[in-house]
A and B are shown apart, each in its own frame.
Chain A
Amino acid sequence: MFHRFANPARFLRLAAAVQPWAAGATVVLLATGLVLGLVASPADYQQGETVRIMYVHVPSAWMAIFCYSALAGACAVALIWKHPLAGLAARATAPIGAAFTFLALVTGSLWGKPMWGTWWVWDARLTSVLVLFFLYLGYMALDNAFDDPGRGAKASSILALVGFVNVPIIKFSVDWWNTLHQPSSVVKMGGPAIHPSMLTPLLLMGLAFTTYYVWVLLIRIRREIIATKIRALQMRQAAGQGAAAPAAAPAPGEAR
């Protein structure tokens, strides 16, 4: 089943068809979610207007975990089944996930100062999310640390898989230990502890962030495929030049 999508040419056709839809859905969902969240939804009975930070913070945090799971999944497929497309998807996902994690950390800090009375504490939830951010940075650094992209991909994939232990720790940190961070409001026993007028914009923002991820992911994978092709062309050209020097004049600029 995987194999059908492993063909880059078929993937490129599929991506070109899906990308405008993902872009359109992102624009519509983000606009609706922001209007509902920042204007139409009520202030909270305790937090007042500060509650609106949640509409960016919570979807960012969801996406931070979702992207890491996708990254680890893609790395596993790349390591075990050697699908070239999975490796490209992992490479393409990492910076998006790192950006979402950064956004979650910053918005959380901005919320924490007025509500808790502090920008930052070293409780289990906050610390494990900071570790997630460093895992993303470590993955990207390791991926680019080798001259041979294949070795970089292998080393960084192993790091991504090892780092996956952190994902359940983040999710359950608020249940396993006492933390300053509150437990989950949306996924909990007995239904969400969040009023529908606030849950609707939150879920819309979550969907918008997901379609945004798909949109940017497709752009980035296409870019990775093109970069791989260029590298292959350059190597072929270099090899050709070595054999029969000036006779085979390369088309100028083609390999840049």
Chain B
Amino acid sequence: MKRKHKRLTFVVIALGLLGVAAGLVLSAFEENIVFFYSPTDIAENNVAEGRRIRLGGLVEEGSVKKAGGAVVNFRVTDLTTVIAVTYKGLLPDLFSEGQGVVAEGALQGGVFRADEVLAKHDETYMPPEVAEALKKSGKWKGPGESQGENRGKDNNK
């Protein structure tokens, strides 16, 4: 075997082993790498009250209620399980019913008390006119009917 072939074999084998090692480490730490847990994850694993976690899912349609004094109550769903959330503070611009959110906080008496709410944006990009046309034709698969439309109009200004 020529020296460069030896080096090639060595590099290929070393990279292969490194890849396997990285894969094993990442799968072992999966719990710590995920950014949020779904309502079902939280319900199934009996997460202890008071333990800080992030809850991610969709804001359930028709569940957002302003309770006065910047307190907002809403429910987060993954279409299987629903968890009620209460939050005091400013909501991000993209927050709306049917939209993805990630809330950070802890469970307290069955209610998730969030101290930070982030909006999750999906990978769909389109102009407002197209979004409206899709809704009219009934092919809409995106978030909240009314919210989406209002947002579209705001953007046209």
Contacts and interface: CB of A to CB of B under 8 A. Distances in A.
A198 interface: yes
Contacts of B123: 182-185, 188, 193-194
Interface string A16-44: 00000000000000000000000000111
Classify chain B: how many residues form its interface, as a range.
35 or more
A245 interface: no
Interface in B1-26: 4, 7-8, 11, 14-15, 18-19, 22, 26
B33 interface: yes
Interface in B45-87: 56
B122 A117 contact: no
A180 B54 CA distance: 11
B118 interface: yes
A94 B107 CA distance: 46
B11 A121 contact: no
Contact of A118 (B26, B91, B93, B118): B118
Contact of A46 (B4, B19, B94, B118): B94
Q: Which of A45, A47, A124, A182 has the most CB of B within 10 A?
A: A45
B118 A114 contact: no
Interface residues of A, number: 44
Interface of A is mostly: loop
B117 interface: yes
B128 A43 contact: yes
A51 B8 CA distance: 45
A236 B47 CA distance: 72
B138 to A, nearest CB: 17
A121 B91 CA distance: 17
Contacts of B93: 114-115, 117
Interface stretch (A73-81, A143-151, A210-218): A73-81
A169 B154 contact: no
Q: Which of A44, A162, A188 has the most CB of B within 10 A?
A: A44
A179 B34 CA distance: 7
